[in-house]
């Protein structure tokens, strides 16, 4: 797989009050208790390695890493638990919050990962439109979801609260850009290629 062109896309960065937080800034890398719970979107709860990703469906860098994470899951299978948490960068991505709600609403019908894949695969089609609501409802229909239920859930308070809870937990763990990855609780420096990514994970499996 081709290396990610880091010079073009490093990450999508959160703007916080005093200015832009630099992705390349040296930071300590403490290990956090990520407390994976049943409500988390995860692939293999019994795996020996857990990769938590804080991500924004509208972030171009997240779309690039989506392919790497997918290949990682295909290659390592149930040896790795991939956990997705919403971290919509609302200040720079106007449709990110609603996209996260679309993923969360789909999860209520057991199809979070299918919606996750579709949102990333079609990111350029919905990212800049004025109101993507109808587009997301069409995706729900495409995935065989109950469209009426999805439409009601999309803007429901429980769905909004779930997205916001993920976002708040990201702030707690020092997330300031997307995608941000934590491997067994330790924040990773985003790898520049699939091979580097896989090696970092495999080192935790030994």
At 87, which CATH number? Answer: 3.40.30.10
Q: How many CB atoms lie within 10 A of CB 144?
A: 10
pTM: 0.88
Q: How many residues does the chain have?
A: 206
Residue 34 forms part of a structural domain: no
Domain that holds residue 55: 40-205
CA 147, distance to chain mean position in Å, is 24
Residue 126 forms part of a structural domain: yes
Residue 77 contacts residue 114 (beta carbons within 8 Å) = no
> What's the structural domain count of the chain?
1
pLDDT single digits (tens) 136-181: 999 999 999 999 999 999 999 999 999 999 999 999 999 999 999 9
* pLDDT in the model for residue 2: 47
Six-digit token pair at 124? Answer: 């350029």
Residue 19 forms part of a structural domain: no
Residue 14 forms part of a structural domain: no
pLDDT single digits (tens) 67-123: 999 999 999 999 999 999 999 999 999 999 999 999 999 999 999 999 999 999 999
């Amino acid at each position: 797989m081709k290396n990610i062109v880091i010079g073009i896309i490093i990450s999508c960065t959160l703007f916080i009050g005093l200015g832009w937080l630099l992705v390349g800034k040296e930071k300590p890398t403490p290990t956090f208790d990520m407390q994976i719970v049943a409500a988390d979107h995860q692939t293999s709860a019994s795996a020996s390695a857990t990769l938590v990703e804080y991500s924004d469906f509208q972030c171009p860098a997240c779309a690039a890493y989506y392919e790497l994470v997918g290949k990682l899951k295909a290659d390592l299978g149930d040896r790795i638990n991939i956990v997705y948490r919403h971290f919509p960068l609302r200040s720079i991505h106007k449709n990110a919050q609603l996209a996260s709600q679309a993923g969360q609403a789909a999860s209520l019908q057991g199809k979070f990962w299918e919606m996750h894949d579709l949102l990333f695969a079609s990111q350029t089609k919905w990212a800049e439109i004025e109101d993507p609501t109808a587009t997301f409802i069409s995706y729900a229909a495409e995935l065989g979801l109950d469209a009426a239920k999805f439409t009601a859930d999309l803007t429901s308070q429980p769905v909004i609260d779930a997205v916001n809870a993920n976002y708040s937990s990201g702030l707690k763990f020092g997330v300031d850009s997307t995608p941000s990855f934590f491997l067994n609780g330790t924040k990773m420096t985003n790898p520049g290629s699939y091979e580097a990514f896989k090696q970092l994970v495999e080192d935790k499996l030994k």
